[in-house]
Homo-oligomer: A and B are copies of this chain.
């Protein structure tokens, strides 16, 4: 495979290569612990996803150097006919408008110019966005949202992120910070949040949030529970799912309360932008119907009549397939397409 600097297909026509060349895009998903990357061709076919330790405690330049090295190794494994046309990067607190990661709490780099740094290694268009926006873009390009113009993707992991499509476009907002659904307010004097405030949605609805709910319930009630023997550090969302499946009342109630809070907030967002569907992804969705059923029930209960029965909620079919990497590829494919159309 070759890395090509030109960005417009028609500049690259070469009669010798014309029959064999194929565009390919790199998607990168920068996480607090690991960074994943992979390649997608323009027919949507994806290639092996690779992963390496992010090591955010080291300087950002060190990370970019290692990313370039790992990508180059990955590239060597691909057939010669592929030409890298662009790089899409999803990362926490990544701002599409500035090209920077801005003080992500689980990356100790402060504010870093990702597009500028990565450009030193690869002379192709580079686009970044936050992980939830990348997931939304992935659903639009390769997933269940292909035919939808108005939908929301929620990433329910350690925190809660949102990616919003309105009128067929990803919403970045005036400052590039749209979709911070995890930091909408459930209760003004509620649970302490990593953002420095209190009562944010993600302190209730996320893998961490449901653990906090279990501990609140264990402190409030005398109900016996198999979760009473597990410390906060050890307790995982999977433990809670397993307990609920086994009929544990505290675990069942934790899902019920999580569903009620999320259902109520989703009803607000339906009233605001009237989406056709809300798609869940992220670790907490492993709970399946335990989560989905109460969310649906409560959202319908809190919806204004005109919206009732008209907004679908489902779990992403791409969540097992590295949606964030696919989405990052989709992002840069979309950008190149838009530029070619101009």
Q: Which residues of A contact B (CB under 8 A)?
A: 102, 148-150, 162, 164, 166-167, 169, 171-181, 183-185, 188, 195-197, 264, 267-269, 271-276, 302, 304-307, 310-311
Whole-angstrom CA separation of A177 from B150 in the bound complex: 12
Whole-angstrom CA separation of A175 from B107 in the bound complex: 40
In the complex the two chains form, is A268's CB within 8 Å of B184's CB?
yes
Which B residue's beta carbon lies closest to that of A102?
B306
Whole-angstrom CA separation of A169 from B164 in the bound complex: 15
Task: Sort A-B residue pairs by CB-CB distance and give the 9 closest, nearest first.
Answer: A173-B274, A174-B276, A178-B274, A184-B268, A180-B271, A150-B174, A183-B304, A177-B274, A178-B273
Which B residue's beta carbon lies closest to that of A274?
B173
A168 to chain B, nearest CB (A): 10
A218 to chain B, nearest CB (A): 24
Q: If the complex has contacts A167-B166, A267-B185, are A307 and B175 also in contact, measured as CB distance less than 8 A?
A: yes
A314 to chain B, nearest CB (A): 15
In the complex the two chains form, is A307's CB within 8 Å of B272's CB?
no
Tell me which of A148, A162, A273, A310 has the highest count of chain B C-beta atoms within 10 A of its own C-beta: A273
A194 to chain B, nearest CB (A): 11
Task: List the B side residues contacting A305 at CB < 8 Å.
Answer: 195-196
**Contacts A149-B174, A269-B272 given; 16 further ones with Cβ under 8 A?**
A166-B167, A167-B169, A174-B276, A175-B276, A178-B274, A179-B274, A180-B271, A180-B304, A180-B306, A183-B271, A184-B268, A185-B264, A185-B268, A196-B305, A197-B304, A272-B272
Task: List the B side residues contacting A304 at CB < 8 Å.
Answer: 180, 183, 195, 197
Task: List the B side residues contacting A166 at CB < 8 Å.
Answer: 166-167, 169, 171, 173, 273
Which B residue's beta carbon lies closest to that of A149?
B174
Whole-angstrom CA separation of A155 from B306 in the bound complex: 20
Task: List the B side residues contacting A167 at CB < 8 Å.
Answer: 166-167, 169, 171
Task: List the B side residues contacting A183 at CB < 8 Å.
Answer: 271, 304
A96 to chain B, nearest CB (A): 11
Q: If the complex has contacts A166-B166, A188-B264, are A272 and B175 also in contact, measured as CB distance less than 8 A?
A: no
Tell me which of A173, A181, A302 has the highest count of chain B C-beta atoms within 10 A of its own C-beta: A173
In the complex the two chains form, is B302's CB within 8 Å of A272's CB?
no
One of B164, B196, B271, B276 near A273 (C-beta < 8 A)? B164
A258 to chain B, nearest CB (A): 15
